[in-house]
Amino acid sequence: MSNKLGIIAGAGALPARVVEACRLKGRDCFVLALKGHTDLKTVEAVPHAWVRLGAVGAAIKFLHEAGVKELVLAGPVGRPSLSSLRPDVRGARLLAKAGVAALSDDGLLRTAIGELEEEGFRVVGADDVFDDLLTPEGVLGKVSPDAQAKSDINYGVEVVRATGSFDVGQAIVVQQGIALGVEAIEGTDALIARTGSLQREGSGGVLVKIKKPQQDSRADLPTIGIATVKGAAEAGLRGIAVEAGGSLIIDRDSVVAAADAADIFLIGITVT
């Protein structure tokens, strides 16, 4: 493939998976690595440039010089405070354009995507690069949720849809009809860790992770991997439910195997 892909790389394993997918498809790629976020291993043996988060002008310059036409935003980026962002002139202009939207993750992402499209880039989702990451519908391993777990999943979906409309996280842990914790700025792994000790006696809690109602599917889709399963098992959760067709599972076969080994369920759910 002659169309070079630009990868704006956040944290986690997803950026490296996108790089590997390009290699397997014979597609050239260029990684724009974000200082303080991107894993050093992601950019090994691949053309790349490092840029701080607020240096929007430099980032766009690097992408144009690399000759990319399509861009994918891969991996989470912890949003810094406005005082620590230190935006350059282009970054300050973007924040001014975003206005009050700059105070929310989704609003800022939408503004950033719009800015990149105005520069002539086509922004695509990670699932456009390779669709085997998208969560399929149904039970993915040997363990299935029982009636109580299904009830907890339904309740979790309703709560996350409500909180998600205010741009508050993508995940919740529910146990026996009680919300033990809703994801905020700390991320899913920290949510799992802090709710483990809050569980009551009886059947364990369930992690539910879905898209926010207003979320642009090209950025920050709900994502789980091996670490999610291991964390859930260590916290004593009984299962994980993620949105079918609206979330990503990194290294799905390994994740399913890990869930089976931990005797917890993994299910892709349809959210309407």
Q: pLDDT for 204-214, tens place per residue?
A: 999 999 998 88
Last residue of a domain, one of 75, 94, 129: 129
**Residue 106 confidence (pLDDT) above 60:** no
92 shares its domain with 207: no
- Check whether 42 has a pLDDT greater than 90: yes
Distance CA 131, CA 135 (A): 9
What amino acid occupies position 210? I
Mean pLDDT of 32-55: 92
Whether residues 197 and 97 share a domain: the answer is no
Q: Both 162 and 51 in a single domain?
A: no
Indicate if 161 and 77 belong to the same structural domain.
no
Report how far residue 188's alpha carbon sits from residue 156's, in angstroms, rounded to the nearest whole number: 14
Pairing relationship of beta strands 239-243 and 206-209 according to DSSP bridges:
parallel
What gap in Å lies between CA 186 and CA 3, rounded to an integer? 36
pLDDT the model gives residue 82: 61
The structure's pTM equals: 0.86
**Exposure of 184 in the CB half-sphere (CA atoms within 13 A):** 4
Check whether 100 has a pLDDT greater than 50.
no
Cα distances (angstroms) measured from residue 50 to each of 20, 65, 114, 196: 19, 14, 22, 37
Q: Are residues 121 and 144 in the same domain?
A: no
Range of the domain at 199: 134-269
Q: Is there a single domain that holds both residue 99 and residue 9?
A: yes
Whether residue 56 is found in the same domain as residue 121: yes
Pairing of strands 122-124, 70-74: parallel
Same domain for 154 and 120: no
Residues near 201 by beta carbon (within 8 Å), at least 6 away in sequence: none
Of 83, 102, 129, the residue that ends a domain is: 129
d(CA 216, CA 202): 38
Q: How crowded is residue 74: how many other Cβ atoms within 10 Å of its Cβ?
A: 29
Cβ atoms 217, 243 nearer than 8 A? no
Give residue-wise pLDDT tens across range 127-145: 888 767 899 999 999 999 9
Same-domain check for residues 166 and 232: yes
Shared domain for 110 and 142, answered yes or no, is no
* CATH code of the domain in which 69 resides: 3.40.50.20
pLDDT at 72: 94
Question: In this structure, what CATH number is given to the domain that contains residue 178?
Answer: 3.40.140.80
Looking at 79, 95, 129, the residue that finishes a domain is 129
My answer on whether 240 and 143 are in the same domain is: yes
Length of the chain equals 272
Tell me, yes or no, whether 118 and 141 share the same domain. Answer: no
Count of structural domains within the chain: 2
Per-residue model confidence (pLDDT) at position 155:
98
